[in-house]
Structure 1
Amino acid sequence: MGIEGHVAHISGPRRPRALSPLREHLRDTFWFAPTAGLLCAVLLWWAASAVDLKIIALLQQAHAYEAVRELVSIAEDTKTIVTTVSSAMMTFIGVVFSISLVAVQMASGQLTPRVVRIFIRSRISKITLTVFLATFLFSLLVLTSYESETNARQVTSVPVVQSLLTMVLVGLSLLLFIAYVSATLRLMQVGPVADRITREALRMLARQGTGGEGWEDEVAGLAAETGRTAHEGRAGVVRDVHVARLVRVARRQGVVLRLVPRIGDFVMPGTPVLAVHGGAPPPRRALRYTVSVGVERTFHQDLGLGLRQLSDIALRALSPAVNDPTTAVQCLDRIVQILAAVVRRPLGSVLHRDRRGVVRLVQNVPGWTDLVDLGLTEVRVAAAHSPQVTRRILAGIDDLLLLAPEGRREPLLRHRTLLVQSVERAVPAAADRRFASSPDRQGIG
């Protein structure tokens, strides 16, 4: 059996944490961080209000009424600032994010609609919105702490600490605004977007783990299939699976579970999602929330999503309406980088084991040929009339051939041959054909 039959073994530090799918799903939302920030703003105001009450109480007990009057005077001066902040902050938030959403829409039109997900997962975007909203809410709460009483003996609270914290939040908002505008502008450039996609793909690859020789024998030696569990619920793509929970369920049941679809496959109600080997299927309630199905693929466990997105950007750049081969070359740089990272890794399936080392879950992942075809096929077909792109593809294939073991050279050689044949059919002049068939890492350097 070739190298594609090898199986990755996750153990030790590679064992997924129980909350990892939930953490990834929350990262794909834009509501969780702002909501948590508003909650923190209320708690911060409550703590600061308690401190202000304690300060006034201590000063009054010490009969330091002059100091109380000074604090009241300072609070009256800061009240105007806090009022201005509370009235202007929401308008500022609306204007900033309206402009930003227009910028993201332009980027999605120029590159790919999947770039919107990068904006949603961006930490700086979430932190900025969180701090903006927290500043607005905090300033409103501070206004409720001001009293009309100015007598130093009768006043109960002077929001000095609250006013100072409001100023701190305003300053932090201004700094984050600068960082946020810079990050949003980077989303409109193909280089940073391609780099972000590549880093996400490589992080997923590091979490996926690697295996050793001979794991294919364990897959072949699995007990006979004894049942299947079908998908219930709405149709969609398989985003990820809760590995830790599935391993735990399989261990308790004394069986081996096998994920039938790959991550990223589209499933409908009734589609088999889990095959059971070696025993009775686990109860349906035990398998709830173990296979996540949604409307969009995610990077959490999807090995091919990065290549899919880069290929989409390159294809759009090579369309007659855009005609931007340099963008396609930038995407090919990253496609080659991802393929180089997996060229020597065992692919095909991943074995997840329990604490005793017994295989409990088998998860299929794309093989080497699948990944090469995903990264190169569509770009190769669209690039026949663009010498800049054909030269970059040939250079990338030659670089991968230097890294690839003997068992993985065939798909690369196949794509190289097909590309040369496409150039010969598309380019009539012999000199142009020779030029377009010459490898160049810059396309046309």
Structure 2
Amino acid sequence: MGRFGGIGAYLSLKPRGERLRDTIWFVPLLMMSGAYLGAYAVEELQVALERSTAAQALLEEFELHQFTLPANATTLSDLKEGVKGSLSTLTGALISSITLLISLTLVAVQLASSQLGPRLIGDFLRNRVVQVTIGLFLGTWIFGNRTTSSMSRDVVIPSLGLFATQLLTGACLVMLVLFVQAVVSEVRIPVVLPRLVREVDWLLHRDFEGAPADPPAGDGSAILAARSGYLDLVHDRPIVRWAVRRDTVVTLVHLPGTFVIQGTPVAVTSTPVTLTRRDLRRMDRWITLCPLPRTGSTVVGPVNRIVEIALRALSRAINDTNTGLACVEWLGEAFRRLIPIPAEPEGRTDRRGRVRLVTWRTDTARLAEHAFGMIRVSARDNPVVLVRILRVFQDLGHLPLSPALRRTLLEEGDRVLATARTHVQPECDVRAVEQAHHVMCQALAM
């Protein structure tokens, strides 16, 4: 199983489940449903305790007076009013707190997204701590309301419900602290950049889940994209089963994260196959295209996110050179971790060991040219950033690079030097770039 990182992996979840994981409403909806069912179960238990003389006697024996019914009618009435007031106060405070907190958080995230990019909001919405916190607050509110309404039915005093509501409120306060920590972590550069590089490690194994395989020769049928978008999810098991039934081999046309235009081939078969509407609908579900490239689907995502942060930092509107330098350095670390990816495509086999699906691994040389090239253009008149790019190339030159990546870094280093000679002033800064370029060439020539 895999979820393509080469493109062949990333199959740990089904397509619909993967889409639900990226929504902010699914986890809270599950927790609210669980809270309602839990309140119903507690209500039934409370009714059983109040109607059982043996249970009341046992509670009195263990001096658990908060769960027993008082004999005095006046005391009972006052206790009911006190419990109802406590539940109303807790539920009202919870819903007010979560509304205010989310509003203020979204404002802070919106302001931070001007530097970190609009995908920051998507990361915030997909954050599991954020989803659980919202679900816990809303679930506790539903639990408290259900417990309060039980007093108008069979429950005399919902002591168990009040106790459970108080415990859930304490859990809400704990999650509130974690929620603030999660939001702060999402908007701090010293936290975001190392996290993106760690994501490269988490996604790297997806480029090694298949055995090396060459695309089969032959004129087959083209599987056209049903929509436009970035190649994101490839669910290999159903595609392999489909290819076995038709005795063919499916080869994906595009690299991970590539934009595919509707009506153009997204995959081809090794033999002519008659594709029905049902086949096309299935392929659209098994080969998922997203409107925007997601950070957590392939190793391309975190790299592009670092580049995006660098471009925003180096823009004239923000002009944050230190953040740009940090992005260049962490980008070098990301490519250090991408070095082991081989250039050969990978294949998925059926039960008999025959290759049925051929996918492409991440092209690190092409990715490096794209990433460093965009930063070079954005920092064309900034000698500090240009020198730092060359020093990162110098450091990478001491590592066991593939010939293609080594050649790409040398060519990109030459472009950095040409850019400096064209746009950098004064002459002393140009000489600094030339010196860094000379040292880089020596390192990459090893």
TM-score in terms of structure 2 length: 0.85
Distance 1:145 1:223 in 2: 70
**C-alpha deviation, 1:167, in angstroms:** 0.5
Distance 1:86 1:390 in 2: 57
Residue pair 2:417, 2:434 contacting (<8 A) in 1 also = yes
Distance 1:126 1:343 in 2: 35
1:68 aligned onto 2:69: yes
**C-alpha deviation, 1:144, in angstroms:** 0.8
1:90 aligned onto 2:83: no
User: For residue 29 of structure 2, what is the aligned residue in structure 1?
Assistant: 35
CA spacing shift, 1:50–1:338, aligned 2, 3 Å: same
Greater Cα shift, 56-65 or 258-267: 56-65
Residue pair 1:237, 1:267 contacting (<8 A) in 2 also = yes
Task: Please tell me the residue identity of whatever aligns with 1:277.
Answer: S
CA spacing shift, 1:383–1:268, aligned 2, 3 Å: closer
Greater Cα shift, 236-245 or 62-71: 62-71
1:43 partner SS: helix
Task: Please tell me the residue identity of whatever aligns with 1:390.
Answer: L
CA spacing shift, 1:327–1:64, aligned 2, 3 Å: closer
- Of 253, 260, 278, 1:260 maps to 253
1:375 aligned onto 2:371: yes
Distance 1:174 1:409 in 2: 52
CA spacing shift, 1:9–1:332, aligned 2, 3 Å: closer
Q: How does 1:329-340 map to 2 (within 5 A)?
A: 329-340=325-336
Task: Please tell me the residue identity of whatever aligns with 2:208.
Answer: G
Q: How does 1:39-188 map to 2 (within 5 A)?
A: 39-59=33-53, 67-69=68-70, 76-147=81-152, 156-188=155-187
Distance 1:36 1:308 in 2: 33
Task: Please tell me the residue identity of whatever aligns with 1:315.
Answer: L
1:206 aligned onto 2:205: yes
Residue pair 1:33, 1:126 contacting (<8 A) in 2 also = yes
User: For residue 363 of structure 1, what is the aligned residue in structure 2?
Assistant: 359
Instruction: Name stretches of at least 5 consecutive residues in structure 2 with no aligned partner.
Output: 61-67, 438-446
1:291 aligned onto 2:287: yes
1:424 partner SS: helix
Greater Cα shift, 199-208 or 38-47: 199-208
Residue pair 2:221, 2:271 contacting (<8 A) in 1 also = no
- Of 306, 316, 322, 1:326 maps to 322
**C-alpha deviation, 1:352, in angstroms:** 1.9
1:275 partner SS: strand
TM-score in terms of structure 1 length: 0.85
Task: Please tell me the residue identity of whatever aligns with 2:258.
Answer: D
CA spacing shift, 1:269–1:321, aligned 2, 3 Å: closer
1:355 partner SS: coil
RMSD over aligned CA atoms reads 2.9
Task: Please tell me the residue identity of whatever aligns with 1:68.
Answer: L
Residue pair 2:235, 2:287 contacting (<8 A) in 1 also = yes
- Of 399, 402, 405, 1:403 maps to 399
User: For residue 440 of structure 2, what is the aligned residue in structure 1?
Assistant: none
- Of 259, 263, 271, 1:270 maps to 263
Instruction: Name stretches of at least 5 consecutive residues in structure 1 with no aligned partner.
Output: 1-6, 149-154, 441-445
Deviations 1:8-47 (Å, cap 9, x if unpaired)?
797xxx7944x35444322211111111111111111122
Distance 1:372 1:139 in 2: 54
**C-alpha deviation, 1:430, in angstroms:** 4.1
1:424 aligned onto 2:418: no
User: For residue 227 of structure 1, what is the aligned residue in structure 2?
Assistant: 221
User: For residue 245 of structure 1, what is the aligned residue in structure 2?
Assistant: 238
Greater Cα shift, 340-349 or 105-114: 340-349
CA spacing shift, 1:28–1:295, aligned 2, 3 Å: same
> What is the aligned-residue identity percentage?
28
How many residues are aligned here? 418
Residue pair 2:87, 2:144 contacting (<8 A) in 1 also = yes
**C-alpha deviation, 1:317, in angstroms:** 1.0
**C-alpha deviation, 1:343, in angstroms:** 1.5
1:361 partner SS: strand
User: For residue 20 of structure 2, what is the aligned residue in structure 1?
Assistant: 26
**C-alpha deviation, 1:203, in angstroms:** 1.7
CA spacing shift, 1:284–1:355, aligned 2, 3 Å: farther
